[in-house]
Structures are given as C-alpha cells and as structure tokens.
Chain A
Amino acid sequence: NAGVTQTPKFQVLKTGQSMTLQCAQDMNHEYMSWYRQDPGMGLRLIHYSVGAGITDQGEVPNGYNVSRSTTEDFPLRLLSAAPSQTSVYFCASSVGQYNEQFFGPGTRLTVL
C-alpha cells in the first residue's frame, strides 16, 4: 500500500490564484481530514469527511472547499489564494473514528 499520498509536494501561488491540493489513500479508510500547520505551530483542522459524500468544517475552514466523491480521494480547493494561506498542508485518513490517523507527507504552499 502507498498509504496517504499528497500532490504536489511544493507549490507557489500568486494572490488570487486558485488551485487544488490532492490527497489520496489506498487503505479503504472512511475518515479523511485536512490540516494546516503554520511555522512553529501545531496542526489546525480545516475540513474533514466521515465518508463519501459527507464533509464537515473544522477549526479554520474559511477560504477552503472540499468534496468527497469517492472513498479514496479528498481534494482541498483554494478558490482565491491569500498570503495568510501560506502553510504546510497535511492530509490524514483513518479506518474509523476511534482509530489512529495516518498522515501524508504534506504540501508546502507559499502564496505571494
């Protein structure tokens, strides 16, 4: 199994541009989440999903959209990038709500 994969690894955007961060898992996990981590800080939950077709907001959802059309994929969309969204983004998945989360390697995003 590849586990949780994220693409791209690095991305530089200009203010106002849009993009989608990709996240995929091949473990048939129902639960998937997106976090952001700013320098020197802990992770903050952006959005999460408890299964295909179901998503919910986390701590810091503003400026981000998600969808979950399949069990495997959970893309994160930035509609109009802002410098405040410069961060490292981690995707995670787990088999159930009480189980350990597996994290991807992260996407390092810079918004100029």
Chain B
Amino acid sequence: DAKTTQPTSMDCAEGRAANLPCNHSTISGNEYVYWYRQIHSQGPQYIIHGLKNNETNEMASLIITEDRKSSTLILPHATLRDTAVYYCIVRVAKDSSYKLIFGSGTRLLVRP
C-alpha cells in the first residue's frame, strides 16, 4: 500500500496562499491522491482528489508532479476557518473495492 508523508504542522497568514506538501513516492499508476481536512473534532471533510492532472475546485487546487511521487494542496486565500488538520491520502484499490488509508496529517494554523 502506498504511504504518504506530510509535515506535522504549518502556519500561514490569513489571506495568503497555504501550500501543503505531500510525498507519496511508492504510489502506483492507478492510485488516486485524495485530500481531506478535519476541523476540530468534526468528521473529515472532502477537499479534492486527482490522478495525474492538476485539479481545481471551489475550495482548493491540487498540483501533482509529473512523476506522481508528490503533490501540493493549495488554499489560494486562507481564512481563519481553514485552520484544521489536512490529510493527504492515497486510495488503495483491492479487487473492485476501495480503501482510504489516513496518515497523521498536517496541522495548519492560519494566523490573523
């Protein structure tokens, strides 16, 4: 199973872009990269996912390197409400099923 490595914590100023890195050097060709976040003790919230192309939605952008061994989640204009733990996850395929294996995540603190 592909594993992910993320920094334990990061911070950024409100209104600035937050760039959260993730290493997944053992990812295989058919595995997707997912990002979720968890605000305080709530259930995790889906942000974005991608395979090999860069993706953008209303919440964030996902940049995946050409070799797919790492990716970066970009929150373009971070707000205080973006303070959360961010999880980079590689989706494991088993037969026709799926599993999401969560790591420890990056604790992002957005400063006023």
State the A residues within 8 Å of B (CB): 4, 31, 33, 35, 41-45, 48, 50, 56, 58-59, 88, 90, 92, 97-98, 100-106
Asked if A90 contacts B44 (CB within 8 A), the reply is yes
Contacting residues of chain B (1-58) with chain A, CB-CB under 8 angstroms = 32, 36, 41-46, 49
User: Nearest Cβ distance between residue B103 and chain A, in whole angstroms?
Assistant: 5
Residue of B nearest to A40 (CB): B104
CB-based A-B contact count at 8 angstroms: 54
Q: Which of B60-68, B70-78, B94-102 contacts A (4 or more CB under 8 A)?
A: B94-102
A-B pairs with beta carbons under 8 Å apart, 27 shown: A4-B43, A31-B98, A33-B100, A35-B102, A41-B104, A42-B87, A42-B105, A43-B102, A45-B99, A45-B100, A45-B102, A48-B97, A50-B96, A50-B97, A56-B94, A56-B97, A58-B99, A97-B97, A98-B98, A100-B46, A101-B36, A101-B46, A102-B46, A103-B44, A105-B42, A106-B41, A106-B43
